[in-house]
Amino acid sequence: MEHQRVINSTILREYDIRGIYEQTFFVEDAYAIGRSFGSLVARKNGKKVVVGYDGRVSSPDLEAALVNGLKKSGLEVVRIGRGPTPMLYFASTVMQADGAVMVTASHNPKEYNGMKFMLGGKPFFGKQIQDLGAQVAAGDVVPEGNGTVRKVDVSEDYINRLLEDFGGTERKLRVVWDNSNGAAGDILTRLVQKLPGEHIVLNGTIDGDFPAHSPDPTVPKNLVQLQKEVANRKADIGIAFDGDADRIGVIDDKGNILWGDQLMVIFSRDILASNQGATIVADVKASKILFDEIQKAGGNPLMWCTGHSLIKAKMAESKAVLGGEMSGHIFFADKWYGFDDALYVAVRTLDIVARLKGPLSEVTESLPKAISTPEIRFDCSDERKFTVVREVAERLKEEKANVVTIDGVRVNTEDGWWLLRASNTQAALVARAESTSDEGLERLKNALKAQLKASGVEFPEE
């Protein structure tokens, strides 16, 4: 059949499609995916699909092929053009689209590209992505139809909506932004013109070669430029985005990095002040401090699996007002729509900081302290990684350890906790440990190493 196309299985990830352009992911794949995803939408009696793309060099060609595939499936295709992934989520939500596709490889290096999807207003992930790959390979599509294509500029509506929940007029802030040459550039430039205070934008030009640094704000070296500029300008705060602006990085006035779970403490306290008893979801990698602080502030903390699609789905199910991950995906659902939008998170952060009596660093430094490892990733084949976690879980069960098994194993001891889980996006295991003392952290790491050794896996020396 003319529609059959076998796509490289490595690009079918847990939350999206992602591969190296013209090595594992091709323009022909984009067309075939458009044809198959479009058929999925059409079979559910859907009519409208919204499409956007990021600032990568290969994105316009992939977007054009994708649109063609969707159109030939008989759909109304709305092209919103180049911008951040959350602008696509926004367009899909307000237009009540039946499907949405974003051409992006998020924070990956420049040679990568991919796609993120929504179907029926919900995240499209996991088995759905595997099934889509099988559908493409089988050429299982609806008969060719005459769809329509139109361009719509949602940027002004999006910017105005971002500003709606900003009330922070108590004091004017000096803010340094690092766009990381990512897809938010044009929107950010226009957004800061409408915000009070003084705004300095670094790497504001959208450039798919990412000349300044890799567009990943969870890696400390990518925040060095921002830290220097905050110090030089004596700014109140620094804010960084990843390549498609669905993840945020924040540094305070003293250059301290606020990790995802620390930001979540600040947001939780603010939201719970007027939403007592509300549920807040955080991923299994987050600090125990976050779950304790949510409880202290009168909230209902819910630990869930890592992964932005999984957190979004759990939030909808539990009617949570806020969700977040260590990786900087933050989801507001008190006034916002429950999807991860770093621009919106930035606006809410500035709103909170403008209301503080002192500098942000006072809040950072007053947070309860824990000593933790960074996220440790080590290679383990896709075939073996889940087995290792299962073996560890079985041994811990025999030892009658205190274990949470919603996503890998999170082991609680008197010293703190350690985590081992299989990465959903790489042939790797992921580990983390947290304690209140150096000695406790050492004991936790030794317990983790012993479990890995029993399964024949070497713990990487830091």
* Residue type for position 229: E
Helices 288-296 + 260-272 axis angle, to 10:
10
Active site residue 106: yes
Task: Please give the Cα distance from 276 to 106 (Å, whole number).
Answer: 35
Burial class (CB in 10 A: 0-12, 13-18, 19+), 277: exposed
- Kindly state the tokens that stand for 17: 């499609």
- Kindly state the tokens that stand for 20: 């190296």
Distances 455 to 44, 379, 407, 447 between C-alpha atoms, Å: 45, 14, 18, 13
**CA angle centred on 338, ends 216 and 48, rounded to 5°:** 95
Of 36, 39, 59, 106, the active-site residue reads 106
Rg value, the chain, Cα: 22
Question: What is the DSSP code string of 318-337?
Answer: HT-SEEE-TTS-EEE-SSS-
DSSP 21: B
First to last CA, the chain: 52
- H-run or E-run covering 78: strand 76-82
Distances 461 to 377, 378, 415, 451 between C-alpha atoms, Å: 11, 10, 21, 15
Task: Please give the Cα distance from 282 to 275 (Å, whole number).
Answer: 17
Helices 260-272 + 342-355 axis angle, to 10:
60
Count, residues in the chain:
462
Catalytic residues: 106
